[in-house]
Chain A
């Protein structure tokens, strides 16, 4: 086409990949994971969790208005975002571990892009037929039947995409109420907007972009390439066994002559099923998402022609090299890096669990006035002021006594608080609320202590539970 023009066209049209259906053990694993993860995604917001009357009853909820995150028995307040940091670290470390064990398995089995693409591909196969049929139809003329099929396909795709967006917004508010409101067109506009956005992205990413997301948009293949090593299991064409490849007929003839052709009969099935259009026989590459479908495809071929399965298999670079030098296969899942990742995961997990277990349902934080740092009152006493935040995470209203330790002759008062127990101010904090109080601590000049650190303690009047925070008392 462009023969007469020097150079190439401005763009390269992406060669459309027509993945063929595969059957086998890895395909089955993929179906099971697909159903399980999608069920979790769609149904999780409807799981209820009793936290008491003043708290939402949804097991997993991101409450943006009150800036709280609920996850079963865990409830994270805005001051505690470090739990989310911990979760992110755990997620990253798990990815590293997965990578050290079996390369890019996350991509092939659990990544949402893979799962939704699989679902869309299944729809495509159901409406338009398998690879060969689809290729024929796409080059053939537009017939009524084809228009019908395409329309049906896009309709189903859009339905799936719409459900995907719909499920997403359920995580941000009470799901049953939202579903009802959505149906009645009474839900907040932002819910519809988000459903729209996610419907669009799901439809485009899973329906059209597919492998392009993995190849061009996703940063993970670049990162994982640096993380994987020669001991990690990766989908590999065992070229030591497959080469030289020859057609089935020729190899049969060669065998009769006593020669040793490779096991690969160059049938191209492994390429046909590949969702990213990779030829695994070229070696490990960035485009491969480790889904194992080519293993299933090749195993089917090997079975048909009566040869050993697993010409393509999860294998390690180490083993390929060992076999070439006549040694037996080994697989070492326990290596210094897997041990390191496992230890780090366990460590971070333990820290988080103990932090959760230690967590009280009350807390106090103090902030010293910066300007002025201290005030000299009329009678010459020195006064410092703090803004104190008392968080009551219980589902009932509680009374907290504000005490200071370390200064005996200190006078403590809280602005707007008249109640007192033993001379200390007592503030009431509503259920699941944070109350801000301004607290003044006055010390007579004659009693100024030598050590100026001051400990605030809040005590729940009913249960006696305590929390404290320490700060400095500033004097001239």
Chain B
């Protein structure tokens, strides 16, 4: 651009043009308002300040840390501290209250449910499902049949010590023998006893099922744990067989499978990972899912 060249002035507006011309349409050279420009420069200055103050630039092995040494991890842990402080009063009340007291105080109950629900979502959901609905082999916590007891105290104990968790001395243990593998029962016997067990909870047996034979096999082999009437034994963790709730499925094939293979599920002892108040809140939460006794 030569220095002598004067800007072309648009006749209609009296404004200089940029000299750009598109199909006869010329661009007016309208300068920015000063305040706009100042704001723009201020933003640039601000951005540079920001680079210096906060972590910004990736380096070969790391990044610039910024003069404030701010990082998101520290800010999260600060937030967590704040949260703990905020919850402190309620948490103290929760720690002090007995389980029964918590259920009776609406405010404490909803706090415990919220806290228990959060702990449940983090720790229990992988096995018991998002709503505690369980699945085959993992108990449905909404139902009212409990292997190890459904009172608040029993639930608290189960959560704290787990089931068949060898590292905990007070863990619940029980074992359903593997009647098939250990040749304790033969095929037809297993079939008969399965028919009988199904009939205990009111299912119509298959045609030709020998319920009487099944019953005598049951009394000899199963009654020691499940009781003569099949109502189970919470002390032993032996399920009540007279319900509609089946941990491993209620079809004849499912039941045959249990008799054949035996065994039982495992649950960690949470006392080693969670503090007592959280376990208490968890117990209240699980109890309030609806199945609690």
Contacts and interface: CB of A to CB of B under 8 A. Distances in A.
- Of the listed residues B5, B33, B104, the one surrounded by the most CB atoms of chain A closer than 10 A to its CB is B33
Interface in A1-42: 4-14
Interface stretch (B137-145, B170-178, B183-191, B275-283): B137-145
Nearest to A437: B106
Given A385-B142, A415-B290, A436-B110, A376 B33 contact: no
Contacts of A372: 129, 131, 133, 140, 142
Contacts of A212: 33, 35
A164 to B, nearest CB: 21
Contact of B31 (A9, A209, A379, A416): A9
Interface in A197-247: 209, 212, 216
Given A375-B290, A378-B244, A369 B34 contact: no
Contact of A371 (B33, B35, B133): B133
A386 to B, nearest CB: 10
Interface residues of A, number: 35
Nearest to B37: A11
A415 B201 CA distance: 28
Contacts of A383: 142, 290
A378 B34 contact: no
Contacts of B142: 369, 372, 375, 383, 385
Given A11-B31, A11-B32, A378 B288 contact: no
B291 interface: yes
Nearest to B145: A378
- Of the listed residues A216, A370, A376, A418, the one surrounded by the most CB atoms of chain B closer than 10 A to its CB is A376
Contacts of A50: none
Interface string B243-281: 111000000000000000000000000000000000000
Nearest to A436: B110
A9 B251 CA distance: 88
B143 A11 contact: no
B224 interface: no
- What secondary structure prevails in chain A residues at the interface with B? loop
Contact of A216 (B18, B30, B33): B33
Contacts of B115: none
Contact of A379 (B7, B130, B244, B289): B244
B48 interface: no
Contacts of A371: 129-131, 133
Interface in B10-42: 16, 18, 29-37
A370 B7 CA distance: 72
B125 to A, nearest CB: 10
A435 B113 CA distance: 13
Contacts of B145: 377-378
Interface residues of B, number: 41
Given A6-B1, A379-B243, A435 B106 contact: yes
B16 A11 contact: no
Contacts of A9: 31
Interface string A126-157: 00000000000000000000000000000000
Contacts, number: 103
A387 to B, nearest CB: 10
- Of the listed residues B7, B244, B288, the one surrounded by the most CB atoms of chain A closer than 10 A to its CB is B244
Contact of A376 (B29, B143, B240): B143
Contact of B7 (A6, A11, A209, A375): A6
B109 interface: yes
A65 B289 CA distance: 30
Nearest to A418: B104
Given A370-B131, A416-B103, A10 B7 contact: no
Given A371-B130, A377-B143, A7 B32 contact: no
B6 interface: yes
Contacts of B103: 415-416
B32 A12 contact: yes
B106 A378 contact: no
Contacts of A438: 113, 288, 290
B34 A416 contact: no
Nearest to B18: A7
A372 B132 CA distance: 8
A369 B131 contact: yes
A78 to B, nearest CB: 17
A440 interface: yes
Interface in B132-183: 133, 140, 142-145
B290 A440 contact: yes
Nearest to A374: B142
Given A9-B31, A209-B35, A372-B129, 8 more contacts: A6-B6, A7-B16, A8-B7, A371-B129, A371-B130, A375-B140, A377-B144, A438-B290
24 contacts: A6-B5, A6-B7, A7-B29, A12-B31, A12-B33, A12-B34, A14-B33, A212-B35, A371-B133, A372-B142, A375-B142, A375-B143, A376-B143, A377-B143, A377-B145, A377-B243, A378-B144, A383-B290, A416-B104, A416-B109, A416-B288, A418-B104, A438-B290, A440-B290
